[in-house]
Structure 1
Amino acid sequence: MLTKLKNNVAQKVIALMENNEKRKRQEKWNVFISKSHIDIHPTFFPKDADIFKGENNEFGNVSIGENVLFRKYCNILIFPNADLSIGKGVFFNNYCSINCLDKIKIGDDTIFGEGVRLYDHNHLIEKGETLFVEKEKYTKNPIIIGKNCWIGSNAVILKGVTIGDNSIIGAGCIIHKSVPSNTILKNNQNLISQSL
């Protein structure tokens, strides 16, 4: 009887703690979306302000259309004065990362495989007698991804790239030049198979 009572009390305490955490997450989300430069459709999932990172808790302009889904462990970094625009019906699989210091625009119905990373900037490199990488200075150039694209797992898209509508980027590609519409781009991995 005592064990049953202890278990019942423990379950109630756990439920209270979980409800408190949900309430805190909801409050944080409500504060985040109440900012005038944050425009996120109510169908966005997950409603978790923690996936959004800024600089000193300041964010640039964010616009996310309806039915956009981010799966687990995704991160969005958006610096003040930057612009992030994601169209409707866009899907991000697990572990995707958007790093926006300038401008990133993603068209409707584009899908991203696991581990895709977008960088619209590079650290500034000072050239002299030795190379020096600036930690807080950057070169920037927008990324634009068209409608109805498929970006394969672990692809990396770098600054200054435009990917046209209806294009497919194969898994593991590093995209540093623009890709025309209706293009399939894939790695030439040259795998070698040998029997023993």
Structure 2
Amino acid sequence: MYGKRFHMRRAFQLTIENGGRVVLGDDVFFNDFCALHARKSITIGDGTIFGENVRIYDHNHRFADPTTPIKDQGYSEAAVSIGKHCWIGSSVTILKGVTIGDNVVVGAGCVVVKDIPDNVIVRQNTELVIEEIRR
């Protein structure tokens, strides 16, 4: 479901599976190569714009059982909500369960894994973190 004046550029991808739902407000804009993948719910508010190569996932593979191939362990799912009048920069990835408030700017290259309040700018320091898989 999308609102008035929805616009997408080249190579936009939308995947809806398992009864998922995508709701877009008015004046939502996606630049080149953006993708939304919904198994639960993705909601985007009015006037929100996306840079190139943004990815949004409301689900993730389960991987805790080392005796079962990851592709056979199913998914965990949680809704994603993005507020009104946000700017999501190029190459941002937004993962399941995240709520982003209104009037938020998310800088290029961020991986968003937790909620973001209204009226803030988010940027990511580049740091490689390596940890064991928790079981």
Q: Same fold (TM over 0.5)?
A: yes
SS where residue 172 of structure 1 aligns? Answer: coil
CA contact (8 A) 2:92 2:110 kept: yes
Does 2:111 match 1:111? no
**Residue correspondence of structure 1 range 105-184 to structure 2 within 5 A:** 105-128=43-66, 130=67, 132-135=69-72, 137-184=74-121
Q: C-alpha distance in 2, partners of 1:131/1:177?
A: 28
- The two structures have a TM-score, normalised by structure 2, of 0.88
Amino acid at match of 2:97: G
> Share of identical aligned residues, percent?
43
Write the distance in 1 (CA, Å) between the matches of 2:126 and 2:19: 39
Measure, in 2, the Cα distance between the counterparts of 1:163 and 1:133. Answer: 29
The 3 A distance-change label for structure 1 pair 183 and 137 is same
CA contact (8 A) 2:18 2:40 kept: no
Please say if residues 126 and 132 of structure 1, whose CA atoms lie closer than 8 Å, have aligned partners that are also in contact: no
State the distance in 1 between where 2:126 and 2:113 align. 18
Q: Distance in 2 between matches of 1:141 and 1:107?
A: 18
1:132 shift after superposition: 3.6
Instruction: Give the match's secondary structure for 1:98.
Output: strand
Q: Following the alignment from structure 1 to structure 2, what is the Cα–Cα distance between the partners of residues 133 and 80?
A: 19
Number of equivalent positions: 127
Q: TM-score, normalised by structure 1?
A: 0.62
Deviations 1:95-151 (A, max 9, x none): 0000011100000000000000000000122424x5741347210000000000000
In structure 2, give the amino acid aligned to 1:147: K
**Greater share of helix residues, 1 or 2?**
1
What 5-or-longer segments of structure 1 have no aligned partner? 1-62, 191-196
Choose which of 79, 82, 85 in structure 1 pairs with 2:23.
85
Shift of 1:189: 4.3
Amino acid at match of 2:23: S
Q: In 2 relative to 1, CA 136–74 (structure 1 residues): closer, same or farther, beyond 3 Å? A: farther
Listed as ranges, the gaps of 5+ residues in structure 2 are 128-135
Q: Residues 138 and 74 from structure 1, CA distance in 2 versus in 1: closer, same or farther, beyond 3 angstroms?
A: same
- Output the aligned Cα RMSD: 1.6
